Structure 1
């Protein structure tokens, strides 16, 4: 399956999630590096403009980094989610596989338990699809690089085509691969 097909499926999952949880104002899937993979956002009620997906993805990556470090310092195991409650609602971020995150924007009247239930389910499905999409995208870029570059570039492209990326935890700590 192509990367575009996987991204379409990720968008469909976001649409299903918004249908199951009507108080969601938006959903975003991004890489842990802050690049948007898919988004489904609407203008919030009132005069506020809709959030910019690129800015939200970049802030998600930054918050994820801090949350991961805090979680690690507190000795709470593998990072799973981050919840922010503001005056007008919630921002919830869930790990979606090893290389993506799901960020949800929700109204204040939302049942937080329902948000977690549906958010965790969606993050698991999106994590699988995002991993496939990123692997497909890396494969395509790797093939292009191989035709234009020297043997070192070809070897690097071959390793990226495997889609083998270290888990989120190892990348965040900058540990060498085992």
Structure 2
């Protein structure tokens, strides 16, 4: 089963049990959209914002040494946006209404996140059917980032921030 099918099945089940859930997004920790039942542009933006929120939350949890990051909740005038880690490489973000009981939502959503994240992690670690590309082959398309020079040898290196594990 692929992540899209699992997320669809899991979200339908969650919505049957919790009608205040308006939509959901499964995104990579890099901010790229994996699957969603929201409109495409909203989902793409929400995936990127969820990854940023996850990065900040993970960093805060690490800084204060209060254990692992569990979820991020953003309260709005009309509801909440809640982001949960889903496996090692994904995030589940739910958009809910204002009348949401967060305690029971957290319990159910963490289980959904664990199941969808496990499927995505399994797909990600499965050997690809594509042949390995030659690392020395020329780029098919030149991008602006590919043409930028590397870091200058004498440039100072920032050491105060490190990327959260993914």
Preserved contact between residue 84 and residue 90 of structure 1 (Cα < 8 Å): yes
- Give SS of 2:114's match: helix
Q: How many residues end up aligned between the 2 structures? A: 142
Tell me the C-alpha RMSD between the 2 structures.
2.5
Report the counterpart of residue 5 of structure 2 in structure 1: 8
- Can you give the 5+ residue segments of structure 1 that lack an aligned partner in the other structure? 43-49, 154-169
TM norm structure 2: 0.75
Cα distance change on mapping 1:6 and 1:93 into 2, 3 Å: closer
Deviation at 1:133, TM superposition (A): 2.6
- Give SS of 1:133's match: helix
Deviation at 1:128, TM superposition (A): 0.7
For residues 43 and 3 of structure 2, the distance between their equivalents in structure 1, rounded to whole angstroms, comes to 19
- Can you give the 5+ residue segments of structure 2 that lack an aligned partner in the other structure? 138-161
Q: Larger Cα Rg: Structure 1 or Structure 2?
A: 2
- Give SS of 1:41's match: coil
TM norm structure 1: 0.71
1:95-110 map, 5 Å: 95-110=85-100
Higher helix share: 1
Report the counterpart of residue 47 of structure 1 in structure 2: none
Deviation at 1:6, TM superposition (A): 3.8
Preserved contact between residue 3 and residue 116 of structure 2 (Cα < 8 Å): no
Given the alignment, which residue of 47, 69, 77 partners 1:57?
47
Report the counterpart of residue 88 of structure 1 in structure 2: 78
